[in-house]
Amino acid sequence: MGPLRRQGVRGNRRSLMSAYDLTLGTGQSAIRFDGGAGIVGARHGWGLQNLTDWMSLSDAKNDVNERALQHGAFDPGQTTRQSALITATVAYVGSTVAELEQAIYALNGLTAEPAAPLRATFRGAAGETHRDMTNIEITVPSHRGRSRLSDITIDMTAIDPRAYGAESTNSTGMAAHGGGLRFPLTFPVNFGTPGTDGRVRFTNTGTATTYLTLVVTGGMSQGFSLKRVETGQTITISRPINMDDTVTLETYYGTVLLNNQSSLSGFLTEYDWFQCPPGETCTVQFTPLGTVTGTPTLTMTASPAWW
């Protein structure tokens, strides 16, 4: 791996009191590092001194083979990127030494052995982006009996180097006609029950290709089909889906799980996996197959992605 570029965002007590921050984890156990508290003494609690390489482009994987008897090198093809290595330098200001130590124990406990990659969310002037982190290492210098401590380093690896924006979730049932008009007309005019096109849509406003999480609920006697309208790419599951079943498709990994447990990859009769390139809108048509019971539903979750 090539030398790491060190691109950082530094705390400034005067001008960045609320301009940016970093949060590790989600829910009640999450820890927020305030960019305005980056310089120890600015305020009580956790502060973010420096965030290195959040906006850097991770190293390229492609090998460059030089041309022996001519200028330059052979074309290595499309560039692919390594995982992203990111470092946060943080500080803590406590009222007592015991409080400081408990805060560090809580940070270690959050990051030591998470069951899944840990969500890291950076809030900057352009909005929020997040990455999922693994292999987290924390280095804590000696506090020397003081209740405040700076230069605590948190080294993290984002297995997917892209940064993602806020999640967007859209749902639809199967396509259905509207109620239409009844003649002779009476006023006010009643156009009947609105129809639905059985489609969900997402626009990727970022600069990198993003992927989709597609969740389908039953019941359908012969499965279902999902088609990206813009390209014709189609994913079809040919298997009965009960009313209480949930099928989750991850287009990044190319996986299909029934009730988050059993793989349904063996029931894929079409598997032209699709994604959403930057600047494009992805429209997915949901088509139940066979006899329908209950209310089959497709829910799509996606986030804009940035390099």
Confidence of residue 78 (pLDDT cuts 50, 70, 90): confident
pLDDT at 200 over 80: yes
Q: DSSP secondary-structure letter at 299?
A: E
Please say if the pLDDT value at position 16 is more than 50: no
Q: Which two tokens mark 72?
A: 């330059």
Class of domain 8-62+80-161: mainly beta
Per-residue pLDDT reduced to its tens digit, 110-136 = 999 988 999 999 999 899 999 999 999
For range 137-153, the mean pLDDT = 96
Whether the per-residue pLDDT at 15 is higher than 50: the answer is no
- The answer, yes or no, to whether residue 68 has pLDDT greater than 60, is yes
**CATH 2.40.30.210 domain extents, the chain:** 8-62+80-161
Question: Rounded to the nearest 5°, which phi and psi values hold at 230?
Answer: -65, -30
Instruction: Give residue 266's pLDDT band: very low, low, confident or very high (50, 70, 90).
Output: very high
pLDDT-derived band at 1 (thresholds 50, 70, 90) equals very low
134 or 183, which is more confident: 134
What integer is the mean pLDDT of 105-113?
96
pLDDT per residue as tens digits for the range 228-249: 999 999 999 999 999 999 999 9
User: H/E element holding 106?
Assistant: helix 97-112
Asked whether the beta carbons of 99 and 108 are under 8 A apart, the reply is no
State the average pLDDT over residues 68-84.
91
Domain with CATH 2.60.120.860 in the chain: 168-177+196-306
Mean pLDDT confidence for 250-263: 96
What's the pLDDT score for residue 5?
41
**pLDDT, position 12:** 40
Is residue 55 predicted with pLDDT exceeding 90?
yes
| pLDDT exceeds 50 at position 87 | yes
Q: Which residues pair with 299 in a beta bridge?
A: 171, 215
- pTM (2 d.p.): 0.82
Distances (CA, A) of 187 to 65, 180, 184: 76, 15, 10
Give the chain's mean pLDDT.
Answer: 88
Least confident of 16-30, 54-68, 110-124, 228-242: 16-30
pLDDT exceeds cutoff 70 at 67: yes
Q: Which positions ≥6 away from 214 have C-beta within 8 Å? A: 226, 248, 249, 251, 284, 298, 299, 300
| Domain 168-177+196-306, second-level architecture | Sandwich (2.60)
